[in-house]
Each structure stands twice: as structure tokens, then as C-alpha cells.
Amino acid sequence: MGKLYSQYGSKSLKAVEHFVLIIIAIATIVAIGQEVVHIIGNARVDLADLLLLFIFLEVLAMVASYAESGKLPIRMPIYIAIVALARYLILDIKAMDDWRIITIALSTLVLSITVIVIRWGQLKLPYPRTDDH
């Protein structure tokens, strides 16, 4: 059974992985197109539009990075989360109560500190090199 998996299962999973990456990339490109059409239809660009385009750009960069290296840098989804929280705050700040604003701001701060800690750990405490890396 182990030999069968190593012969077909691993390759099948890789094929599904690449197929899903292509779907994510295509869906992101479609979403970018929809946002551009929205901007053109409104005849103006708001900060929320720019932040949404930035989120889409980060998703594409994350897909490209994952496709090239086979590894997902953990900082990229955190960056996307930070921008998404900032966009949410910008769009809905007038309708939010003080506690929600504070919670979102603290969440953003925690994510930012997380990025700093991860980056520090990568620089100061790197994984030992192996032959397959």
C-alpha cells in the first residue's frame, strides 16, 4: 500500500494542489477585473478599492510563491489579514461602536507583532539546513 501511494497518491495530490492553485489564481484575476469595472463605473477610486486590490495582489503573490517553492510563507496570509482588518475599519468605522474599533485595532496590533516575532525567529533561530532544502 505504501508503494502504491508513493507511486500514484503523491502525484495525484500534487496535481490536485496545482489545479486548486490555478483556480485560486483565476478567481483572483476575475475579482480584480470586477473591482476595476466597479472603479470605472463609479468614475473614482476610493481607499477601500485600493486596499481590496492590494489584498488581491497579495493573494496572487502568495499563489505564485507557493507554486514556485511549494511552501507557504506564513507571513503572507498575516499581511492579507492586516490589510483586510484595515479595510474593514475604514469602510465601517462610522457604524462601529468604540469597543469594536478597539478590538479591530488590537487585532491588527497582535498580527503586526506576530509578523515581527516570526521575522525575528527566522533571522535569529533559523531551521537547520537539510539535504533536501
Q: Tell me, yes or no, if the pTM score tops 0.85.
A: no
CA separation for the pair 119, 27 (Å, rounded): 30
- What's the pLDDT score for residue 34? 98
Query: Any idea how long the chain is?
Result: 133
**Cell numbers at residue 93, please?**
468605522
- What's the pLDDT score for residue 131? 58
Beta carbons of 85 and 104 less than 8 angstroms apart: yes
Please determine, for residue 23, whether its predicted confidence score (pLDDT) is greater than 90: yes
pLDDT: which is higher, 93 or 23: 23
46 φψ region: left (φ > 0), alpha (ψ -120 to 50), beta (else)? beta
**Cell numbers at residue 120, please?**
525575528
Sorted by where each begins, the domain ranges of the chain are 9-71, 73-126
Q: pLDDT digits over 24-77, tens only?
A: 999 999 999 999 999 999 999 998 899 999 999 999 999 999 989 888 888 999
Q: In 1-133, which residue ranges form alpha helices assigned H by DSSP? A: 2-4, 10-42, 47-69, 75-92, 98-124
Beta carbons of 81 and 104 less than 8 angstroms apart: no
- What's the pLDDT score for residue 102? 96
CA separation for the pair 114, 59 (Å, rounded): 19
- Pick the most confident of 14-18, 37-41, 88-92, 126-130: 37-41
Q: Cell 496590533 sits at which residue?
A: 109
Q: What does pLDDT average to over the chain?
A: 90
CA separation for the pair 65, 75 (Å, rounded): 12
Please determine, for residue 5, whether its predicted confidence score (pLDDT) is greater than 80: no
